[in-house]
Amino acid sequence: MTRIIISQRSAPPRQGEVKISLVFEGDLSRPPYTSLVLARAKKHAFTGKADQLFMMGNHAGYQLWLFIGMGKRADFSYTKLKQRLADGLRLVRQQRFSRAVVAPDLVIGRDCFALGKNIALAAELVNYRFNKYQNQKGRVDETLVETLEIYFTGLGRQEKKQFADGVTLGEKIAAGVNLTRDLVNEPASHLRPEDLVDQARVIAKTSDGKINMTVLDKSACRKLGMGAFLAVAQGSVRPPRFIILEYNQGQRAPAQKKTICLVGKSIVFDSGGLSLKPSEAMTDMKIDMAGGATVLGLFQVLAQTGDSRHEVIGILPVCENMPSGQAVRPGDVVRAMNGTTIEVLNTDAEGRLTLADGLAYAHKYFRPDAVIDIATLTGACMVALGEEITGLLGNDESLLRQIEAAGQRSGEELWRLPLYQRYAKMLKKSIADLKNVSGSRWGGTITAALFLQEFTAQRAWVHLDIAGPAYNKGKAHGTVAQGGTGWGVEMLFDFINHY
């Protein structure tokens, strides 16, 4: 953890620390920059643009000055501050400095809570590493930023408290995001359905009674008629688990209180089943439980903060999609919990089968005001939107807008795709009520969402396809880690608190 402190000292340079300046475009000419600094910055073409970082060491190399380009002052947002500070802190780590002080230029606006929250998020999201399987010598040689000092003068007691509260919340949200990342990064060899149950149990236990957990095993699911979920699970030797988490603060007046169900796709490994994936497509399929991991990360934040006045239900149908002599076959017909029969024409379209029973369960037992499912559902979504943008579809304009607004506030990119009803007929030429694939290569994200729609009982529902953003195969950038990203934890927490 990075210790974040407010300081009132007029930051004279200290040995062994990095002094960070956040510079808006064109502002470098203002005081307190010396002519030496200005000359150097000019030489390196640093002008404060939002993608620029400029580092300058003193003669001994003991001290470093880091300039973070913030872009135009008019475009400032706390989310942008979070992203830019994250890039800066990553560089500080790589340069192996363990202390940094953010210079006065930071004093922008006076929302001390937002400032504290976003600084803490930047620090803790950059601190994340997944190196438990590396021997010491193989680990990247870098330090932790142990202390981050924020130079901030003229603060009253109230403002200091707001800042500190913001830091505390930011740290808790970041811990939730980092938990999601850990679960996504964990290889399937070390993550059985039962391991997600253990994780959920820890979250419930440490929630001070705010979260209640129920786990259904295979025979309980059988009794409830979850034929779609169990069909996916049946090829694996590792038994399925259906996890239900119920968060209830139980304090506010019932009139204000709404019920939000979050259903997370939780396939611990997706081989494709008998419709086996080619090798390259299979390599990253340990991530196919990212939706469920996001729900768990969110519940950890709820457990630690108790911040929502609503009832929040997390539903994780957890299993593994494997080929075997017991596996579901292409052409088999299964019956979901709501009575809908499904012809399974492609066993690699397994997520929608597990979610069908997850959604049906949500409606049968909770009569939710809003249902959100989050899933690494289709490669087609990556074709449409690339690797960094989540696809958003749904049947309720107001709910869709609220999710879009939450994404904008948290800085997690999402984009709406149409739930075009004419395509629904592509799922209906079947010997059963529905088939699980459309039979066309085109519009795969939309037809997958239209399949899910059949299990939403016409109530407000949105679907988030995180096939791309759940995992970052490239380098870390901003607060986005390499590997599991924890996409959606911040956004969903923000959504719930504004709903």
For 330-396, where are the alpha helices, taking DSSP H only? 351-366, 379-385
- Pick from 236, 338, 378, 402 the residue near ligand BES by CB under 6 A: 378
**Residue among 323, 17, 325, 302 at smallest CA distance from 149:** 17
For the bound state, the minimum distance from the C-beta of residue 351 to ligand BES, rounded and expressed in Å, comes to 5
Q: What three-state secondary structure class fits 4?
A: strand
Binding of residue 376 to ligand BES (CB under 6 A) = yes
Binding of residue 380 to ligand BES (CB under 6 A) = yes
**Strands laid side by side in the 99-102 sheet:** 3-7, 147-151, 99-102, 18-23, 64-69, 53-57
The size of the interface with Zn ion (CB under 5 A), counted in residues, is 4
335 noted as active-site residue: no
**Judged by CB, which is closer to Zn ion: 277, or 459?**
277
- Pick from 71, 104, 330, 379 the residue near ligand BES by CB under 6 A: 379
Residue numbers 213-252 binding ligand BES by CB under 6 A: none
Residues 6+ positions from 141 with CB-CB distance below 8 Å: 96
277 noted as active-site residue: yes
Q: Where are the beta strands (DSSP E) in 52-187?
A: 53-57, 64-69, 99-102, 147-151
13-21, 125-133, 275-283, 288-296 -> range binding Zn ion (CB under 5 A): 288-296
**Tokens of residue 474, six digits:** 């490239």
Residue of 277, 309, 335, 416 marked active site: 277
Binding of residue 320 to Zn ion (CB under 5 A) = no
Q: What three-state secondary structure class fits 293?
A: helix
Residues 6+ positions from 79 with CB-CB distance below 8 Å: 118, 409, 410, 411
For the bound state, the minimum distance from the C-beta of residue 351 to Zn ion, rounded and expressed in Å, comes to 4
Residue of 117, 210, 286, 352 marked active site: 352
Residue numbers 341-360 binding Mg ion by CB under 5 A: 348, 350
Which entry of ligand BES, Zn ion, Mg ion, none binds 378, CB below 5 to 8 A by partner kind?
A: ligand BES
- Pick from 351, 391, 478, 488 the residue near Zn ion by CB under 5 A: 351
49-57, 167-175, 270-278, 358-366 -> range binding Zn ion (CB under 5 A): 270-278
Q: Are strands 483-484 and 471-472 parallel, antiparallel or unpaired?
A: antiparallel
- Pick from 444, 478, 486, 488 the residue near ligand BES by CB under 6 A: 444
Residues 6+ positions from 113 with CB-CB distance below 8 Å: 162, 163, 165, 166, 169
Binding of residue 288 to Zn ion (CB under 5 A) = yes
| Neighbour count for residue 95 (Cβ, 10 Å) | 14
Which parts of this chain interact with Mg ion (CB under 5 A)?
270, 348, 350
